[in-house]
Structure 1
Amino acid sequence: MLTRNIAKSLKGFWPVSDRIIVTTLSSKPFDTNIIQVYAPTTDHDDTEVEAFYEELDKTLQQLKSTNIKIIMGDFNAKVGARRIGNTVGSHGLGEINERGEMLVGWCQENDLVVANTWFENHPRRKWTWISPGDKYRNQIDYVLIQSRFRNAVLSAKTMPGADCGSDHNPVVCKVHAILKALKKPKHQMKYNLKALNKDPDLRNKFTIEVKNKFEALEASTAEERQWEILKDSIEKAADENIPKQPKREHKKWRTQSILDEMALRRKAKQDPSRYKSIDQEIKKMCNEAKEEWINGQCKEIEDCKKQAMHTCTKRSMTLPARKGQLKVHV
């Protein structure tokens, strides 16, 4: 998810697999690649983990070498609280495990640093995952960045109070980067052509204005210039006479009752059993509301289809012969 301001700098995204996705943002002095990952859990064997890092290597190789690269997500690994060269800082959590050693080795090969181990924080601002029953709290989610850009990271910590419906806490990093907003193509105003078809007076008025402007053209005017004048005449006549197409309201299926339940879930953050119960209820309500919204959209499409078929049938009831007599009744 991107904020609206950051979305203005979005150049594109690339789903690599069900575990890796790449986003490119326009920024100065170089573009920024954000790579979101989800590494295999401890239930998977080492061959799957190695395949994951190989795929991640191929992804990095296909990106511009000059770009700023931020790799973040759930690595299902513990790098520990001991400093390891310039890769891992001394403000991690716990002890390094085997998967953590694999992650550190991969970071060293690609000259990356684990950003959220370099900032001193309270332990509750370090752990990113809580086990079922709150038996363990580990740091397994990380933000990685190239060592040459490590000073661009101003802070990194977890947000234990965030209500995101997950047993993970989001890791928040402040990164100094100058994003460039991409120029969007100029939005063309849409006219309500249905009003033009339904209102004969409006249609005649529009036709007369365009005709008058066109007839005022001199024969000596160059063809290219004639086209520009005709185009401007049509647009001006349309602006003055044809009503604009109203903006479509994007109907959202999220109801107020769902928002209320989400507020309750947020307050129940410290009670895992109640939190889980409310979370399940929210998911159920979301599924029902979404299905109801989709059914409403389908009904609206079906009604439009029936209306179009009815109009088409009315127009094709009779086919005249050449002399004006009715030839075929449909």
Structure 2
Amino acid sequence: MLSKQAQNSLTGWESHTLRIIKVSFKTKKEGISMNVIQCYAPTNDYNEDVKDQLYDRLQSIVEKCPTKDLIILMEDLNAEVGTDNTGYEDIMGLRERNKNGERFANLCAFNKLVIGGTIFSHKRIHKITWTSPDHYTQNQIDHICVNKKFRRTMEDVRTKKGADIASDHLLVAKMKLKLKKHWTMGRTTSQKFNMAFLRDTDKLNKFKIALSNRFQAFHDLLNGEGTTMESNWKQIKEAITSTCHEILGHKEHHYMEWITVDTLDKIQERRNKKAAINTSRTRAEKAKAQAEYTEVNKQVKRSIRTGKRK
């Protein structure tokens, strides 16, 4: 999902297997693009050949990015990157390292990518990106990296544990680099009409009357001599769009009309359960709160599906 600003700056994207996607954005720095490579790596006990293939593909993607561009490598890499940063001082801080972490650290060292989550000082709770189902084992296995050339554009990396998105991937990086609108030839900004107003009987009747009057005004012209299919189409289009503009108006925001009050209530309940998880003082309290959150999250998804069908 992209914000409107990011959407306007998008210059292209590429899908590389089911585990890797690369997205490019235009920035306000002249001639410099931002290439975001998002990856979901296999777990530590996965088949070695599969992991080798994934890291080979990652290497190939990074190599193809222009050296002048900003590269951001991010997401769930299932890699613990180490307590010993000997030989990796330029790209990482101190942490525990597993086999996936060795692969990941080597990839970053070879391509001069700085591992953001290891170089900023935070409390342990703001570094943890994964907690086991028993709530005992906790690791830092999600990472956000930038090429060393743009190290100063990264201001912070930490988890936002209060985010209510039903996911444990809560790592966020704060960057200084600003995005710029990317316009392509023939691209226009389209506005949508408030079609939801047609559900209102009074609005619907006004719309019918106004449209009927417009059609009546040029009825004879449509059937006159010298008219073409193209000219008739333009007249009909003008009648419909002008009526929509007058009666319905344009949408000021993107409304998800299928969201019901019941769904919004359940989303608020889920938000409260998330807060309960973060304020739990014992492991038992946290396990109970997590179970309740999971159940409410299922109810939210069920309510959304029901709303969309209506």
Q: Which runs of 5+ in 1 are unaligned?
A: 215-226, 297-330
Q: CA deviation at 1:20?
A: 0.9
Flag the 1:207–1:196 CA change in 2: closer, same or farther, 3 A: farther
The one-character-per-residue Cα deviations of 1:256-315 (angstroms, maximum 9, x if unpaired) are: 23212212222221343233322332343234223323432xxxxxxxxxxxxxxxxxxx
Specify whether residues 113 and 199 from structure 1 end up closer, same or farther in structure 2 by C-alpha distance, changes over 3 A only.
closer
How big is the shift at 1:135? 1.6
**Greater RCO, 1 or 2 (C-alpha within 8 Å, sep 6+):** 2
Q: Is the 8 A contact 2:21 2:37 kept in 1?
A: yes
> Shift of residue 207 of structure 1?
5.1
CA contact (8 A) 1:196 1:202 kept: no
> Whose Rg is larger?
1
CA distance in 2, matches of 1:36, 1:173: 14
User: Is 1:272 aligned to 2:273, yes or no?
Assistant: no
Aligned to 1:68: 70
The answer to whether the 8 Å contact 1:197/1:203 transfers is no
**Mapped partners of 2:142, 2:49: distance in 1:** 21
Quote the residue 1:251 is aligned against.
257
| Structure 2, unpaired ranges of 5+ | 196-203
Letter in structure 2 aligned against 1:268: A
The answer to whether the 8 A contact 2:91-2:112 is kept is: no
Q: CA deviation at 1:40?
A: 0.3
Give the Cα–Cα distance (whole angstroms) in 2 for the partners of residues 240 and 143 of structure 1. Answer: 47
* TM-superposed deviation, 1:8: 2.4
- Partner of 2:258, secondary structure, is coil
Per the alignment, residue 33 of structure 2 pairs with 31
2:121 match? 120
**TM-score, normalising length: structure 1:** 0.70
Q: Alignment identity in percent? A: 23
Matched, 1:261 2:262: no
Distance, in Å, in 2 between the alignment partners of 1:7 and 1:115 is 25
Give the equivalent residue in structure 1 for 2:296.
Answer: 282
In the alignment, is the contact (CA less than 8 A) between 1:206 and 1:238 conserved in 2? no
Change (3 A) 1:40 1:189: closer
**Number of aligned pairs?**
277
Note if contact 1:107-1:113 (Cα within 8 Å) is conserved in structure 2: yes
- From the superposition, tell whether residues 295 and 80 of structure 1 become closer, same or farther in structure 2 (CA, over 3 Å): same
User: What is the identity, as a one-letter code, of the residue corresponding to 1:116?
Assistant: G
Deviation at 1:198, TM superposition (A): 8.7
Judging changes above 3 Å, is the alpha-carbon distance between structure 1 residues 282 and 110 closer, same or farther for their aligned structure 2 residues?
same
Q: Deviations over 1:134-192 (max 9, x none)?
A: 222211111111111112111222223333323x35222111112102345143787x9
Counterpart Cα distance in 2 of 1:240 and 1:294? 27
After the TM superposition, list the runs of 4 or more consecutive aligned residues in structure 1 that deviate by more than 6 angstroms. Answer: 208-211
Alignment partner of 1:203 out of 211, 215, 226: 215
TM-fit CA distance, 1:33:
1.0
Q: Is the 8 A contact 1:152 1:176 kept in 2?
A: yes
Contact (CA 8 Å) 2:126, 2:159: kept in 1 or not?
yes
The match for 1:177 is 177
- Residue of structure 1 equivalent to 2:134: 133
TM superposition shift of 1:250: 3.7
Q: Indicate conservation of the 8 Å contact 1:79/1:88, yes or no.
A: no
